[in-house]
Amino acid sequence: MNDDPQAFWDESVYGLSQVDKQAWLLNQLNLLSAHHRCHCHAYQTLCSAAGVGETAARYDEILPLAVRLFKHLKLASIEDDEVFKTLTSSGTGGAKSHIVLDRNTAAMQSKALVKIMQSWMGRARLPMLLVEQPSLVANRQGFSARGAGALGLSFLGRDHCYALDDSMQPNWPAIEAFAERYRDQPVLIFGFTFMLWQCLLEPLAERGISLPLSHALIFHSGGWKKLTHLAVSHADFNQRCREHLGSAQVHNFYGMAEQTGSIFVSCEHGHLHAPRYADVIIRHRQTMQPMAIGEMGLIQVFSALAHSYPGHSIVTEDLGIWLGDDDCLCGRKGRYFQVLGREQNTEVRGCSDTFN
């Protein structure tokens, strides 16, 4: 899909200005639109019904597929015998999305995830504590989004320790042995937000103990809806991490099964940043018109990595605000934004919201 495949990976993840990134990514998105028109009958039908043009001059001219369409339509641009794995994502009690990946798409998404995360944590593979069950990633052919996320990030670490047993309770001997082994050393901790809170931070608080990890790098994602109901803010969450997991650097990230690999990581100022391979715009909740900087609306996400299915332009059910381009105080170039939560009266969904 690219004139120079290697150049796709050689550029800095956050090194392009928004103007340059937008020109590059728009070309990739137009190529993907043409590809999916040819290879996915359902996508071709949707494009025809919407009356969209063959080539978009701006992001907002690319047909946005509602994320819930993946729950109700088979959206694939490959034949059945080309399916390498299928990701599933569902809301509590809701229908499941099925995201089909061929080997090439799965490899691209994994490589992008690694490139993005290495830009935040460096290339060294750190000892890793996963707030997960070891059995979660046992089936590598049919993954939940939660399993895919845990497995994808596990490649960035070493000497993996799974913090939970199969009943989702803390495995205290394993946790304490990991913490003692890597006392005062850099470590990587990953967990989906609600599970990290409920299954590790709260039990640590109840015990009144902190782990001796003074150089922890924490990444978490998803599940804020449940924490909102518990009146837990981002600041509360980060403070609890620092109280019980050492002098930690805490990074939230935003992503979804429908665009695996294209994740948006928060910087030290709490802003989510679009990587080279992806971008966002904000649309009005009723008119779907694109919104300006500082205005709230529905988040539309774009990805250059969705080749086996038409997931390159998706309007989510999440509310957000476009904060700016190229001028975040952290120094990273490109677009940055904030997620405010889910639009009211939409179906609850998310990687960790499926755990009760």
Which whole number is the average pLDDT over 108-127? 90
pLDDT at residue 352 in the model: 38
pLDDT at residue 116 in the model: 93
pLDDT at residue 355 in the model: 41
Which whole number is the average pLDDT over 60-87? 92
At 287-343, the pLDDT tens digits run 999 999 999 999 999 999 999 999 999 999 999 999 999 999 999 999 999 998 887
Residue 170 clears pLDDT 80, i.e. is over it: yes
Look up residue 312 and give its two tokens.
């390159």
Domains and CATH numbers, the chain: 109-254 (3.40.50)
Instruction: Give 254 or 92, the one with higher predicted confidence.
Output: 254
pLDDT at residue 320 in the model: 95
As a whole number of angstroms, the distance between CA 195 and CA 348 comes to 16
pLDDT at residue 184 in the model: 83
pLDDT at residue 1 in the model: 42
293: phi then psi, degrees, rounded to nearest 5: -55, 135
As a whole number of angstroms, the distance between CA 19 and CA 118 comes to 24
pLDDT at residue 133 in the model: 84
pLDDT at residue 162 in the model: 92
As a whole number of angstroms, the distance between CA 273 and CA 246 comes to 25
Residue 230 clears pLDDT 80, i.e. is over it: no
Query: How high does pLDDT run on average in the chain?
Result: 86
